[in-house]
Amino acid sequence: EMSVLVCGAGIAGLACRLAFKKLGVRVDMVELAPVIAKPENEEPVILTPNGTRMLAALGLNDLISKSQKLDSLSIYSSRDGNMISSANFNDLSKVDGAHEFPAIALSSTELIKAMFKAGNPDDGTASNVRMAAGVTSISAVPPHGVAVQFSAASMPARQYDLVVGADGVGSAVRTLLVGAPVASSSGAIHIGYPGWGYWHAVVDLPSPPPELVDPRGLVELWGGGRRLVTFPMPGGRT
């Protein structure tokens, strides 16, 4: 039986774990955080039809139906209020004229908890997810193995057929495999950060003013090197 270790219990890692489960492969998972989906780390999430299609493929149709459907995207200029661009998500949601995969909005906590639960064994046995644990060493074992040592003293070293690094921008797995990011001649270290800051808030707003929030769509206001984005969330939130 194939042995797999997934490092990181965020959206990417949990999706990987769930995909392996559907293939009949049991996965070990380690996560540095002490708990799954801490409330203070909750973020709003938007999934366009291609993302929703992946959720459906992973068997999360119930989560899709409970999420806030988004019909459209509208982008306006902050200078004069004119529309810059728009998209109808409903036109993109149908595949072969039959299956519909809508654009949706939900919270990261809702998504992570649903993926975590769906990835647990169906036979009631304990889940192989270890919290507050990471990897400290990864090395190749010819011809196709990977030896891993863990930060938790209670976890003995183990060999896997595959190790997946889904542990974020500052990935420990990537650093162990290829080394830390190297500074350029200018002294800058480039790790893919595009230079945008991001602030978000989720508020209870059952009846938002239409000039601020489209009750069925995603609205973006562009201008001055900044963007303001609003969209409805499940449960009367914005």
Q: Give tens-digit pLDDT for 74-110.
A: 999 988 989 999 999 988 887 766 678 999 999 999 9
pLDDT band at 124 (very low <50, low <70, confident <90, very high): confident
Neighbouring-strand partners of residue 228? 221
Give residue-wise pLDDT tens across range 5-39: 999 999 999 999 999 999 999 899 999 999 988 77
The first and second tokens of residue 84, run together, are 């810059």
Q: Which residues of 155-175 are buried (b: 16+ CB within 10 A; e: fewer)?
A: beeeebeebbbbbeeebbbbe
Contact 200, 227 (CB under 8 A): no
Residue 57 reports pLDDT greater than 90:
yes
Q: What confidence score (pLDDT) does residue 179 get?
A: 80
pLDDT per position as a tens digit, 131-180: 999 999 999 899 889 999 999 989 999 999 999 999 987 788 888 888 87
Please tell me the predicted confidence (pLDDT) of residue 194: 58
Pick the closest to residue 104 from 144, 55, 42, 154 (CA basis): 55
